[in-house]
Amino acid sequence: MSSEEKTLTARDLRVEFGLPGGRVARAVDGVDLDVAPGEIVALAGESGCGKTTLARTLLGLERATGGTVAFDGVPLRYSTRALKAYRRQVQLVLQDPTGALNPRHTVYDAVAEGLRIHKIHDDEPGRVAEALSRAGLRPPEQFFLAYPHELSGGQRQRVVIAGALVLQPSLLVADEPVASLDASVRGEILSLLLRLKEEQGLGALVITHDLGLAWSIADRIAIMYLGRIVEQGPVEQVLTAPRHPYTRALVSVLPAAPAVKAAVAEPIVLAGELPDASKIPGGCRFRPRCQEVASGNAAAVLHQCSGEDLHVLGPEAEPHLVACHLDRALHGDAKMAA
Amino acid sequence: MLLEFKDLRVTYRGSRGRLPAVRGVDLAVDAGETLGIAGESGCGKSTLAMAVLRLLPKSAEVSGEILLDGEDLLQMGWGRLRAVRWTGASIVFQGAMHSLNAVQRIGRQIAEPILVHEAKTTPAAAARRAEALLERVGLPASRARSYPHELSGGQRQRVMIAMALACDPDLVIADEATTALDVMVQAQVLQLIAELVTERGVGLMMISHDLSVLSAVCDRAAVMYAGRIVEQGPAGEVFANARHPYSAALSAAFPVIGDPAARMSPGGLAGDPPDPVRLPEGCSFRPRCAVAVERCGAESPELLAVPVRGSAGVADAARVSACFVAQEGMPVVL
Amino acid sequence: MTATNALSPRALRRARRRQSLSRSWAAYRSQKTGMWGLVLLGAIVVLAIATPVLIDASALSVTQATGGRMAPPSAEYPLGTDETGRSVLALTLWGSRLSLVIGLTATVVAIVIGTAVGVTSGHIGGWYGWIALRLSDWFMVLPSLVVAIALLAVLGRSMATTITVIALVSWPGTTRLVRAQTLTVQSRPYLERAKALGAGHWHQMTKHILPNVLPLVLASATLLVPSAILMESSLAWLGLGDPGVVSWGSILNRASENGAVSAHAWWYLLPPGLAILLVVLAFMLCGRALEAVFNPRLRGES
Ligand SMILES: Nc1ncnc2c1ncn2[C@@H]1O[C@H](COP(=O)(O)OP(=O)(O)OP(=O)(O)O)[C@@H](O)[C@H]1O
Ligand SMILES: Nc1ncnc2c1ncn2[C@@H]1O[C@H](COP(=O)(O)OP(=O)(O)O)[C@@H](O)[C@H]1O
Ligand code: SF4
Ligand code: SF4
Ligand SMILES: [Mg+2]
Ligand SMILES: [Mg+2]
């Protein structure tokens, strides 16, 4: 099976929510993204920028108001049966494993739930045991009858992952899989995702606001700002030589290795907060907080920053794509170069 | 010394018997200094913080000394203690979302401690002080009229900081004050905290499970494990060149971007923190330790000065570690 | 399978259920008032079941009555007699059977309707949820007497009518409770996880929502029984009950109709009145204790 197949694709994906007073929150506002089996893509950005909404839309838990989600080249349909079939292929791992497990269900029941939903009855205990051991809970039988409250946070997250793996999906969408876990346990779960990718060719979209996580496990990274991907490319390039002003700011406030320190000299602490998704500025959506505009570096392209919308970045893995007028002026049109 | 812990021990009495949450901690914070305390959840960080203002529940037995400006907080009468809370030392707790009163305007909430602790202040003056404090933490003074639900998480955390500063305390304790925040908002709040420390000369005790955050803000860092300090030293050093296997694992959990060694190899630690009711024999970290030696199972290591890399085996008084292997000058990571 | 599996997974699961039941029982037992309620309830139920053995049904027959008219307590009639000369003790004991049966049946019907409507309206929502909510509001404010009279006109006076009336006015309370709990469970991430696994409404409701609302329903049911018994009594007292059967309410009804009050025949009024009070008390005590057992757990798990 080539890696072109079984790819999850989003094209110009848009999700809007109606708010009281007739306003509209554009939570996801034009996103192109590909996730293929055997690769880990990180999606990073501030709280409220639309990461969870994007993930839920990719899983069909939320309906897109524009654009398409497709899997294996087939656009996602929302009939009960089509969704059910789709969800054998693409699975969700939630942020908080404690909340994601029903406190009244044993580990066995939690992992077998997917099998029961999909009416897979042959060798249920065997499949559950296998999924648990793939998720690193060994020997699996020992965990069958444990209740979630008897497990540690890391073990609970493994149970959630096992519950996803039992259906043998080709892709996982993990929304902040380690954010609620202790520092010492994070590593285990991330290693597990990495091992699943390397040994079993599983693909994953890992949503995070922690760039260090991307550095630890992701092949590619997409930086999201206010519903749009503003920079995307291979992790090494995006994180060690960030080009979009927003990415540069994000990277600059982290403790970084000397090589990166050279590329991003001073910590750039952006003032203010992410604007409301119902008040997305025209032109470049980052302009009100952009440090290049504030410092005057962007003076030459300022009219574009405030007046000219940027196109939606393509889903290509290579090269490194940036949605910024200043960057385009400096590096030439990324699209043309490509 | 502004704040000094001397052999502090806190034991909770509960349904599972006696639970030693803090087991003999010696620490000191000077005015104008920031001390970071790191460790995973349940290791006793919050207990330590709450002990300072005697906020622990009745079920907690406390022994040892906590000296604030030389005065033992544990022996203080209630009247004196009330004065010390706010004016002497104040705490910014984790999860500010839940500690603000939902039905009171934030201006009033900031002004309240001022009115309580400074009898001479008029309500109007207190309100003006509250507005000035809000501006100091980077919020417009008009925000004094907002209710907590109208603010974002980062803004509420700033309000909590403003409240903690209301009575000009000498010591501020921040317990996971930035944990729930985004990278950028966290950076904003950390920058604010750092400015306040230099500007007002307060002592700061900052608690976090993220050693990389502490290394960015603090002068010194102490790493806690199972109720004890297991390593202490200059914050950057502890993060970059740990002398205890546990600190090394904590550092590795937050990789340095651009560090080729961390690329595609998430660091971490197997196993769970020990159950405080049933601590292992010898070194309490032994069940999870990759470099344990025979001695570790029998004796509990003391916190002693350890040699660091490049010091040719000479112990550095500023670096202490409770690990036999580190005390011999050997590497603590495989 | 091997290792831990001397027993099959199913048997082990059952063992774990038993374990959690015994834990709940221990929590219940630690509540003194709840235990008193349980003992009292047990005694009442045993007495009600044993009545046919203790007292022959012929004691209820007006034609075979042997006592005097409204005679005060005596050796032969420890609680005196009614206006037809029947033993009030016999009437009260036999009445307990009917009062309990009506109370329990009406509660079961109300709980089943209430839970079904509550879970579906909370889970499915939309216009269906809106209509269900309005409907339950409407039934809630409807005076039970009006419902009773309307139904009696249509269905005639019978036990079934009494049960229907009580169930009709009782289910909205359960619906409210269940709906609120459903909405809380609904927002739990494990429902999102189930959806992402492909679960349909039926699976979500039966596997996740119902098990989480049932303990609460059980606790509220024990509080609903006494109110149903009270309602049955008041309907019967008003003469709206089944004329052919003996319940506590109907005894009181006949007592007041036959001038027991003006005759100072306290022995005629007191026993059924006290019996109602005791049953209500017993159920209340049990219900409160159950609530205390389940509620902290429900909260603790959230
Ligand atoms: N159901 C909804 N109705 C209205 N607005 C919504 C809804 N869900 C999300 N939003 C808005 O859409 C935007 C994106 O939300 P989303 O939850 O996707 O953010 P996120 O990037 O996952 O943030 P976090 O890191 O905090 O999880 C936010 O402005 C949010 O307020
Ligand atoms: N009120 C309490 N009663 C009993 N045990 C407690 C109480 N508060 C905390 N503990 C226990 O004390 C230990 C240390 O807790 P805490 O100081 O909150 O840790 P941290 O802040 O490092 O996460 C934990 O094992 C915790 O379960
Ligand atoms: S387009 Fe302009 S405003 Fe936007 S990020 Fe680039 S320089 Fe800043
Ligand atoms: S003393 Fe031994 S067990 Fe403890 S941390 Fe050091 S090497 Fe590990
Ligand atoms: Mg989110
Ligand atoms: Mg804590």
Instruction: Report how far residue B134's alpha carbon sits from residue B158's, in angstroms, rounded to the nearest whole number.
Output: 8
Helices (H), chain C: 9-29, 32-54, 88-124, 126-141, 144-155, 159-186, 189-196, 201-203, 210-237, 248-257, 266-300
Domain boundaries along the sequence of chain B: 3-88+167-267+276-327
Confidence of residue B220 (pLDDT cuts 50, 70, 90): very high
C-alpha torsion sign, points A13, A17, A23, A26: negative
Query: Both tokens of residue A8?
Result: 């999850």
Enumerate domains of chain A plus CATH numbers. Answer: 8-243 (3.40.50.300)
For residue range A115-151, list pLDDT tens digits in order.
999 998 888 889 999 999 888 887 888 888 888 887 8
For residue range B223-234, list pLDDT tens digits in order.
999 999 999 999
Residues B274, B284 contacting (CB under 8 angstroms): yes
Report the mean per-residue pLDDT for chain C: 83
Q: Decide: residue C110, CB within 10 A, 0-12 exposed, 13-18 middle, 19+ buried.
A: buried
Tell how far CA C109 is from the center of its chain. 9
Name the residue type at position B42.
G
The CA R_g of chain A, rounded to the nearest whole Å, is 21
Question: Among all ligands shown, which has an atom nearest to the Cα of B185?
Answer: 1
Instruction: Find the mean pLDDT for residues A226-245.
Output: 91
Of A80, A99, A104, the CB nearest to C200: A80
Which pLDDT does position C8 carry in this prediction?
Answer: 64
Query: Both tokens of residue A223?
Result: 């930086």
Residues with CB in 5 Å of ion ligand 6: B 46
Instruction: Find the mean pLDDT for residues B47-66.
Output: 90
Chain A interface includes B282 (CB < 8 A): no
Report the mean per-residue pLDDT for chain A: 85
Instruction: Find the mean pLDDT for residues C38-64.
Output: 84
* Nearest one of A196, A38, A35 to A188, comparing CA atoms: A196
Confidence of residue C82 (pLDDT cuts 50, 70, 90): confident
Which pLDDT does position C78 carry in this prediction?
Answer: 76
Residue C112 pLDDT > 90: yes
Q: Decide: residue A278, CB within 10 A, 0-12 exposed, 13-18 middle, 19+ buried.
A: middle
Which pLDDT does position A260 carry in this prediction?
Answer: 62
Instruction: Report how far residue A228's alpha carbon sits from residue A29's, in angstroms, rounded to the nearest whole number.
Output: 6
Chain A, nearest residue to B216 by Cα: A255
Nearest-5° angle of CA B269, CA A185, CA B223?
65
Instruction: Report how far residue A246's alpha carbon sits from residue A258's, in angstroms, rounded to the nearest whole number.
Output: 20
Backbone torsions φ then ψ of C73, nearest 5 degrees: -50, 140
SS3 readout for C246-281: CCHHHHHHHHHHCCCCCCCCHHHHHHHHHHHHHHHH
Tell how far CA B51 is from the center of its chain. 12
Q: Enumerate residues 6+ apart whose C-beta is below 8 A from B34.
A: B194, B197, B203, B204, B205, B206, B217, B218, B219, B220
C-alpha torsion sign, points B193, B195, B196, B201: positive
Which pLDDT does position B231 carry in this prediction?
Answer: 95
Give the residue whose CA is nearest to atom 3 of ligand 4: B286
Please indicate whether residue B296, judged by its CB atom, sits closer than 6 Å to ligand 4. Answer: yes
Report the mean per-residue pLDDT for chain B: 86
Chain B interface includes A210 (CB < 8 A): yes
Which pLDDT does position A197 carry in this prediction?
Answer: 92
Q: Enumerate residues 6+ apart whose C-beta is below 8 A from A153.
A: A97, A98, A180, A181, A182, A185
Instruction: Report how far residue A260's alpha carbon sits from residue B260's, in angstroms, rounded to the nearest whole number.
Output: 11
Which pLDDT does position B62 carry in this prediction?
Answer: 93
Q: What is the whole-number distance in angstroms between the Cα of residue A99 and the centre of ligand 5?
A: 14
Instruction: Report how far residue B93's alpha carbon sits from residue C206's, in angstroms, rounded to the nearest whole number.
Output: 40
- Chain B (123-152) residues lying within 8 Å, Cβ to Cβ, of chain A: 152
Question: Among all ligands shown, which has an atom nearest to the Cα of B43?
Answer: 2
Instruction: Report how far residue C26's alpha carbon sits from residue B311's, in angstroms, rounded to the nearest whole number.
Output: 62
Chain A: give the shortest CA distance to residue C76, in Å: 57
- Identify any residues that bridge with A13 across adjacent strands, giving them in sequence order: A31
Question: For chain B, how far is it from start to end, CA to CA, in angstroms?
Answer: 38
Instruction: Report how far residue C114's alpha carbon sits from residue C171's, in angstroms, rounded to the nearest whole number.
Output: 5
Instruction: Report how far residue A270's alpha carbon sits from residue B154's, in angstroms, rounded to the nearest whole number.
Output: 13
Residues A189, A177 contacting (CB under 8 angstroms): yes
Which pLDDT does position B15 carry in this prediction?
Answer: 67
Confidence of residue B95 (pLDDT cuts 50, 70, 90): low
Tell how far CA B23 is from the center of its chain. 16
Give the residue whose CA is nearest to atom 5 of ligand 3: A324
Chain B interface includes A265 (CB < 8 A): no
Q: Where is pLDDT greater, at C78 or A59?
A: A59
Cβ-Cβ contacts under 8 Å, A141 against chain C? 1-5
Instruction: Report how far residue A194's alpha carbon sits from residue A206's, in angstroms, rounded to the nearest whole number.
Output: 11
Please indicate whether residue B320, judged by its CB atom, sits closer than 6 Å to ligand 4. Answer: no
Instruction: Report how far residue B98's alpha carbon sits from residue C171's, in angstroms, rounded to the nearest whole number.
Output: 36
Confidence of residue A59 (pLDDT cuts 50, 70, 90): very high
* Nearest one of A105, A133, A143, A114 to C193, comparing CA atoms: A114
Cβ-Cβ contacts under 8 Å, C203 against chain A? 116-117
Confidence of residue A306 (pLDDT cuts 50, 70, 90): confident
Residues C113, C132 contacting (CB under 8 angstroms): no
Name the residue type at position C127.
W
CB pairs under 8 A between A and C: 84
For residue range A170-188, list pLDDT tens digits in order.
999 999 888 777 777 788 8
Question: Among all ligands shown, which has an atom nearest to the Cα of B333?
Answer: 4
Which stretch of DSSP H or E encloses residue B28? strand B17-29
**Domain C33-61+77-301 CATH class label:** mainly alpha
Instruction: Find the mean pLDDT for residues A50-63.
Output: 91
- Identify any residues that bridge with B65 across adjacent strands, giving them in sequence order: B6
Question: With an 8 Å Cβ cutoff, are A114 and C197 in contact?
Answer: yes
Name the residue type at position C116.
A
* Nearest one of A220, A187, A216 to A203, comparing CA atoms: A220
**pTM, rounded to two decimals:** 0.79
* Nearest one of B227, B224, B201 to B214, comparing CA atoms: B224
Please indicate whether residue B274, judged by its CB atom, sits closer than 6 Å to ligand 4. Answer: no
Instruction: Report how far residue A236's alpha carbon sits from residue B311's, in angstroms, rounded to the nearest whole number.
Output: 34
Query: Which site among C185, C193, C201, C202 would you substitute to test the A interface, given the most A Cβ atoms closer than 10 Å to its Cβ?
Result: C193
Cβ-Cβ contacts under 8 Å, C299 against chain A? none
Q: Is C134 helix (H, G, I), strand (E, B) or coil?
A: helix
Residues B207, B175 contacting (CB under 8 angstroms): yes
Which pLDDT does position B311 carry in this prediction?
Answer: 65
User: Of the spans C55-59, C241-245, C278-282, which averages the highest pLDDT?
Assistant: C278-282
Instruction: Report how far residue A316's alpha carbon sits from residue A325's, in angstroms, rounded to the nearest whole number.
Output: 19
* Nearest one of B263, B232, B231, B267 to B250, comparing CA atoms: B267
Q: Decide: residue B121, CB within 10 A, 0-12 exposed, 13-18 middle, 19+ buried.
A: middle
DSSP A106: -
Chain A interface includes B209 (CB < 8 A): yes
Instruction: Report how far residue A225's alpha carbon sits from residue A287's, in angstroms, rounded to the nearest whole number.
Output: 11
* Nearest one of C257, C253, C218, C252 to C239, comparing CA atoms: C253
- Other beta carbons less than 10 A from residue C259's beta carbon: 13
* CATH superfamily, domain at B3-88+167-267+276-327: P-loop containing nucleotide triphosphate hydrolases (3.40.50.300)
Residues C93, C55 contacting (CB under 8 angstroms): yes
Q: Is B228 helix (H, G, I), strand (E, B) or coil?
A: strand
CB pairs under 8 A between A and B: 123
Give the residue whose CA is nearest to atom 25 of ligand 1: A47
Residue C2 pLDDT > 60: no
Chain A: give the shortest CA distance to residue B269, in Å: 5
- Identify any residues that bridge with B60 across adjacent strands, giving them in sequence order: B12
Please indicate whether residue B32, judged by its CB atom, sits closer than 6 Å to ligand 2. Answer: no
Question: With an 8 Å Cβ cutoff, are A102 and C2 in contact?
Answer: no
Instruction: Report how far residue A150's alpha carbon sits from residue A298's, in angstroms, rounded to the nearest whole number.
Output: 56
For residue range B148-197, list pLDDT tens digits in order.
888 877 788 888 888 888 888 889 998 888 777 777 878 888 888 888 88
Q: What is the whole-number distance in angstroms between the Cα of residue A293 and the centre of ligand 5?
A: 29
Chain A, nearest residue to C3 by Cα: A141
Q: What is the whole-number distance in angstroms between the Cα of residue B21 and the centre of ligand 2?
A: 6
Instruction: Find the mean pLDDT for residues A241-256.
Output: 85
